Amino acid sequence: MSVRIGNASGFYGDRFSAVRQMLTGGPLDYLTGDYLAELTMLILGRDRLKDAHRGYARTFLRQLEENLGLAKEKGVRIVTNAGGLNPAGLAGAIRDLASRLGLDVAVAQVEGDDLLPRAAELGLGNPLTANAYLGAWGIVECLNAGADVVVTGRVTDASLVVGPAAAHYGWGRGDYDALAGAVVAGHVVECGAQATGGNYAFFTEHELGAPGFPIAEIDADGSSVITKHPGTGGAVTTGTVTAQLLYEITGARYPGPDVTARFDSVALHQDGQDRVRITGARGEPPPSAVKVALNRLGGFRNETTFVLTGLDIDAKAALVREQLEAALSVRPTEIRWTLARTEHEDADTEQRASALLHCAVKDADPQVAGRAFSGAAIELALASYPGFHVTAPPSDASPYGVYTASFVDAKAVPHIAVLPDGTRVDIAPPGETVELSDVDEPALPEPFRGATKRAPLGTVAGARSGDKGGDANLGVWARSEDSWRWLANTLTVETFQRLLPETAPLPVRRHVLPNLRALNFVVTGLLGQGVAAQARFDPQAKALGEWLRSRYLEVPA
């Protein structure tokens, strides 16, 4: 009998009602919630600066207030990383909540990921947050001790699924293939509705509505079926699962603190309506170092957007740029101008006749990025191009964060399971490790030799993109063998950079995954210093794949 692990959150701010929907929609053994991301850690770090007792996802506590009794009644155990920077604080708040509700609930937590007190010792500088990505074995220890709710800090997203599966089946640290299968399943469900049709390239083919949240039915060998509760919106297909498998990965090896999963070994099969079976996952020992997410305050930023309407758009943009930069008494460290040519010739509405000129500034001094910039921009209102107006006036500067990743020897990172009775158990680091290396480039299929026509890439291929710090990841997959033979041989790095000129000056790496009929591109540095620094129009590269799909080239007819 498979263990059924559902996920009710893909980020801090996801659908509040999902916890109840998952608990009432059908049978579950475990319910997970993923609340953490690079940006979330910065937000929680700023929360903790204001109040040392904060630093966790308070939304989760409100969800439990409505649903903890229901979970206990149904025998569903909960595993979440909503503890953020303060898992002990959230665990304590849950115990208080259970007491107030008159519930007998065993609560445990996983600690050790917060390296901030040792940042200097470990060579991590002076960040605002410093959190190592822990694995699943602390969760396993807590569950084996009878915890109904396990709260963690920064574990890998997939660990929320690996932990329950490993505890259920009694896997050991050397069961790499089974662990890898659970990592793959965890990676699919970690982003919630993205596995059930949300943000899906071919969304017009399905009734989306409010897509249900995903469930991984995991077998003893690590193979799984991805599904959702009956009657919920969206769809689970090999396409929706492929899209999520490609999300924010690099190449064939997907490293984690417990196992390196081989994504080039995974096979997908439609196993009935809204059921996709995942088999074949192979695992290898993890690397010796664990990733550490670092956030620091980078300075202050401000922005405004000038609306340019009608004729002479380029001349209007040049004039206001020249005027504003000349008016700044102190030049900010960074000034970035972006002109979006959204205007249409002979337009039938004023909005369609207008282009948008965006100016963003950054500086270490909040006065330079704030009042000095805002004042200079607004003082141009009666002295610049005809039709001058802005979408919203600039305001005071706001602080921004900078994300970087570092690596620390796993033996230097504590991993502690705090059991329901308060016992603290040290989790040992991996006993066997293998340093990460690239796999040999797989052989490409024979080139496609059929008829072609000029059309958008997206007519024959799907894509999903996202961010890893300052880098962008973009996965592209084909839906037929003919399309795959064309895609693998046509979408080279050179073609990719021609279609997406913003990537042309940057390092781009292509990874080939024939088992998924997919390519994955990693663009180094496209996102600057990460999402919190707002380096570009789409700071998390969420729509980069859709831009690629909209570009024209000769595709199979």
Q: What is the pLDDT of residues 254-308, one digit of tens each?
A: 999 999 999 999 999 999 999 999 999 999 999 999 999 999 999 999 999 999 9
Q: What is the CA radius of gyration of the chain?
A: 25
Domain span at 361: 296-402
How far is the C-alpha of 228 from the C-alpha of 196, rounded, in Å?
Answer: 8
* H-helix or E-strand spanning residue 425: strand 424-426
Q: In what order do the strands lie in the sheet with 149-152?
A: 267-270, 276-279, 224-228, 214-218, 3-7, 30-33, 77-80, 149-152, 107-111, 416-418, 424-426
Strands (E), 62-120: 77-80, 107-111
Token pair recorded at residue 337: 């101008």
CA angle 11, 13, 18 (to 5 degrees): 85
DSSP conformation class of 24: H
| Domain shared by 380 and 506, yes or no | no
With respect to residue 143, please indicate whether it lies within any of the assigned structural domains.
Answer: yes
pTM of the model: 0.94
Q: In what order do the strands lie in the sheet with 282-284?
A: 253-254, 260-262, 282-284
How far is the C-alpha of 15 from the C-alpha of 24, rounded, in Å?
Answer: 15
| Domain shared by 329 and 279, yes or no | no
With respect to residue 244, please indicate whether it lies within any of the assigned structural domains.
Answer: no
| Domain shared by 50 and 154, yes or no | yes
| Three-class DSSP category at 515 | helix
| Domain shared by 282 and 316, yes or no | no
With respect to residue 33, please indicate whether it lies within any of the assigned structural domains.
Answer: yes
Residue with tokens 């409100």: 62
| Domain shared by 257 and 137, yes or no | yes
| Domain shared by 97 and 171, yes or no | yes
| Three-class DSSP category at 78 | strand
| Domain shared by 183 and 157, yes or no | yes
- Non-local (6+) Cβ contacts of 343 within 8 A are 308, 309, 310, 313, 352, 353, 354, 355
| Domain shared by 339 and 421, yes or no | no
Would you give per-residue pLDDT tens digits along the chain (557 residues)?
899 999 999 999 999 999 999 999 999 999 999 999 988 999 999 899 899 889 999 999 999 999 999 999 999 999 999 999 999 999 999 999 999 999 999 999 999 999 999 999 999 999 999 999 999 999 999 999 999 999 999 999 999 999 999 999 999 999 999 999 999 999 999 999 999 999 999 999 998 889 999 999 999 999 999 999 999 999 999 999 999 999 999 999 999 999 999 999 999 999 999 999 999 999 999 999 999 999 999 999 999 999 999 999 999 999 999 999 999 999 999 999 999 999 999 999 999 999 999 999 999 999 999 999 999 999 999 999 999 999 988 889 999 999 999 999 999 999 999 999 999 999 999 999 999 998 998 999 999 999 999 999 999 999 999 998 899 999 999 999 999 999 999 999 999 999 999 999 999 999 999 999 999 999 999 998 877 777 678 889 999 999 999 999 999 99
With respect to residue 442, please indicate whether it lies within any of the assigned structural domains.
Answer: no
Q: Is 414 exposed, middle or buried (0-12, 13-18, 19+ CB in 10 A)?
A: middle
| Domain shared by 84 and 7, yes or no | yes
| Domain shared by 149 and 177, yes or no | yes
How far is the C-alpha of 29 from the C-alpha of 312, rounded, in Å?
Answer: 63
Residue length, the chain?
A: 557
Backbone angles phi, psi at 175, to 5 degrees: -85, 65
* Number of domains making up the chain: 3
| Domain shared by 374 and 335, yes or no | yes
How far is the C-alpha of 87 from the C-alpha of 147, rounded, in Å?
Answer: 15
